Amino acid sequence: MPIYVYRCDSCGFEKDHLQKLSDPVLTVCPECHRGTYRKQLTAAGLQFKGSGWYVTDFKGSKENKESKKDDKSAPAKTEISPACQGCPGATACAGN
């Protein structure tokens, strides 16, 4: 539902009102009770109610989640230097 800002031309009273688009425009000031209450031209303000989506629902794509799963399941590969290839402990020292 949109939030509208109203201001009274007589007393200067301002207030935000939550109204449906189909609701009639307010004309009577709740402060001074004169018919000079006018809707102001402002940026749109909205209030959403009920269940819906959240920013965290779309943080990562399905591809990113699947690639992370694959990375965890695959063992890390270490390169063995050519000098250590014949050494029996070559995988443990990883070429150091």
Work out how many domains the chain is built from and give that number: 1
State which residues form the domain around 29.
Answer: 2-46
The answer to the question of residue 42 being in a domain is yes
What gap in Å lies between CA 39 and CA 37, rounded to an integer? 7
User: What CATH number has the domain bearing residue 8?
Assistant: 2.20.28.10
pLDDT for res 43: 77
Q: Is residue 57 part of a domain?
A: no
**DSSP reduced 3-state for 81:** coil
Structural domain includes residue 76: no
Q: What is the CA radius of gyration of the chain?
A: 33
DSSP three-state, residue 17: strand
Residue 56, CA distances (Å) to 32, 52, 65 in order: 46, 12, 14
Question: Does some domain include residue 55?
Answer: no
pTM, full prediction:
0.47
Is residue 63 a part of any domain in this protein? no
Q: What is the pLDDT of residue 32?
A: 95
Query: What is the mean pLDDT, run by run of 10 residues, along the chain of 96 residues?
Result: 91 93 94 94 72 66 57 58 64 54
Beta strands in the chain (DSSP E): 2-8, 14-18, 37-39, 45-46
- Quick one: pLDDT at residue 79? 64
Which pair of tokens denotes residue 14? 């301002």
